[in-house]
Amino acid sequence: MLSVVVPAYNEEQMIEKAVAGIAAPLTEAGIVFELIFVNDGSKDKTWSLITTAAQAHSFVRGISFSRNFGKESAIFAGLAEAKGDCVAVIDCDLQHPPEKLVEMYRLWEQGFEVVEGVKTARGRESVAHGLGARWFYRMISKAAKVDMTNASDFKLLDRKAVEALLRLPEKDTFFRALSSWIGFRTCQVRYDVQERAAGSTHWGRRALMGYAVSNITSFTSLPMQIVTWLGVGMFALGLAVSIEALVSWFRDVAVEGFTTVIILQCFSGSIIMVSLGVIGYYIARIYEEIKGRPRYIISERVE
Ligand code: UDP
Ligand code: MG
């Protein structure tokens, strides 16, 4: 059986469309499947629509969070809930074409354990957004040692891979990168990002920026190492300036040393602050993880 996990946050316009859109190609292909909607603390009628769908169709199930925990938590809750031999994750807004699920399922039948959906084009977005995304994915790709440039959350995983993901103890997850990090026999399926059928995206610029910082710090400690190199650079600069100052002192021309002092002050001050900030991010992360709070809290479920 194939389990399809659908995270949904304020998607009242999309629930019915998603049920129909995902069920049609799978039924046609003769694949046995279940649909698991994870209501991520929606403030609209999403949950009551999921309940209605679950009553109407035996293949629909739903779990509901006690509040909004974010898409990552919703995905992991879905994975934990799934009973299938393989599990797919797909967006509720149908930006990931459901027909591709059939192709992914066939690849799984051929023995692939992680089938990744890869975007051919990034869909419509602003120049700044595109640049930011490119920079972010380059950094993450280096850290995870896999090419993530066009990665997405649209994936199909074998039970083995799902178990491996669920065994990871970390609370702050990045599904897109972790599902590559775990390894297994992997292949890729290309797809075009569709326009959102209804509703609007939930990611503002600030939310995306926070998401990027959190994922970078969860995957690489490179920023912390950069801090060390900045320190080394500053030390070299300081050495050069000190020698210059000493030389002019011996030559009795050490009158206007103020410029150097000011430059040094500014430099070292700012670098120390930046460094403390970076270290702060990591300490915050350690703190978050060590609290050991659950990734999500389920308040209701329908079968
Ligand atoms: N989503 C979620 N929790 C959130 C934000 C989004 O479960 O806090 C779900 C949303 O319902 C959708 C998917 O994640 O199924 C992708 O969200 P969206 O379309 O807003 O993101 P985009 O496609 O613009 O990256
Ligand atoms: Mg979307």
Which atom of ligand 1 approaches the CA of 7 most closely? Answer: 7
Cα separation, 157 vs 26, whole angstroms: 16
- Ligand 1: which residue has its CA nearest to atom 23? 201
The model's pLDDT over 213-271, given as tens digits with 9 standing for 90+, comes to 888 877 777 777 777 777 778 778 877 877 877 787 778 776 666 667 767 777 777 77
* Element holding 88 (H helix, E strand): strand 86-89
Residue partners of 232: CB distance under 8 A and separation at least 6:
none
Average pLDDT in the 160-173 region? 88
Ligand 1 contacts CB of residue 201 (under 6 A): yes
| CA 119 to centroid of ligand 2, rounded, Å | 13
Q: What is the mean pLDDT of the chain?
A: 84
Token duo for residue 228: 């060390």
- Ligand 1: which residue has its CA nearest to atom 16? 91
Cα separation, 17 vs 257, whole angstroms: 72
Average pLDDT in the 143-172 region? 85
| CA 92 to centroid of ligand 2, rounded, Å | 8
The model's pLDDT over 66-89, given as tens digits with 9 standing for 90+, comes to 999 989 999 999 999 999 899 999
Residue partners of 291: CB distance under 8 A and separation at least 6:
none
The model's pLDDT over 182-210, given as tens digits with 9 standing for 90+, comes to 888 888 888 888 777 777 777 777 888 88
